[in-house]
Amino acid sequence: MIIDVHTHLVPPRDVMTRALSAAGKSHPVIDEILGACPDWGYRVERKIDEAVDFLDRNAIRASVIFPFDFMGATNDLLLRMVKGRPSFVPFACFDLSTANVVELEATVKQAARRGFRGVKLYPLWGPYSEDRYASLFSITQEMDLPVVVHSGESMFACVKTEWSHPEIVGTIADKYPSLRLIIAHGGHPYHEATLETIRSRQNVYTDISAKGMNFLQALVPRAMSSRLHARVFDKILFGTDLFHPVFYGDEDAKLAAQLAALESLGLPRHYLEKILYSNARTLYNLRIP
DSSP conformation letters of 247-278: GTT-HHHHHHHHHHHHHTT---HHHHHIIIII
Q: How far apart are CA 149 and CA 137, in angstroms?
A: 11
Which whole-number Å values give the CA distances from 14 to 19, 31, 43, 82, 162, in the listed order?
A: 9, 13, 11, 20, 32
pTM, two decimal places? 0.95
In this prediction, residue 100 carries a pLDDT of 83
At 91 the pLDDT is 98
**Confidence (pLDDT) at 203:** 97
Which pLDDT value is given to residue 289? Answer: 62
Closest of 47, 50, 20 to residue 32, by C-alpha: 20
Task: Give the phi and the psi of residue 157 in degrees, each rounded to 5.
Answer: -65, -30
State the CB neighbour count (10 A cutoff) for residue 31: 10
Torsional sign, CA 71, 72, 74, 75 = positive
pLDDT of the residue at 227? 66
| pLDDT of amino acid 210 | 87
Question: What pLDDT, on a 0 to 100 scale, did the predictor assign at position 228?
Answer: 63
User: According to CATH, what is the number of the domain 2-283?
Assistant: 3.20.20.140
- Per-residue pLDDT in tens (0 to 9) along the chain, 289 residues: 999 999 998 888 899 999 999 999 989 999 988 888 887 666 778 888 888 999 999 999 999 999 999 999 999 999 999 999 999 999 999 999 876 888 999 999 999 999 999 999 999 999 999 988 999 999 999 999 999 999 999 888 889 999 999 999 999 999 999 999 999 999 999 999 999 999 999 999 999 998 888 998 888 777 777 666 677 899 999 999 988 776 666 889 999 999 999 999 998 999 999 999 999 999 999 988 6
Q: pLDDT at position 71, please?
A: 93
* Domain spans, the chain: 2-283
Looking at the chain, which runs of residues are DSSP E strands?
A: 2-9, 60-67, 88-92, 118-121, 147-149, 181-183, 204-207, 236-237
φ/ψ (deg, to 5) at 183: -80, 115
For CA atoms 118, 124, 125, 127, give the dihedral sign. Answer: positive
DSSP 196-246: HHHHH-TTEEEE--TTHHHHHHHHHHHHHTSTTHHHHHTSEE----TT-GG
What is the distance between the alpha carbons of residues 4 and 210, in angstroms, rounded to a whole number? 12
The amino acid at 107: T
Cα pseudo-dihedral 235, 144, 84, 8, rounded to 10: -50
Residues paired with residue 66 on neighbouring β-strands, in sequence order: 8
Backbone angles phi, psi at 128, to 5 degrees: -60, -15
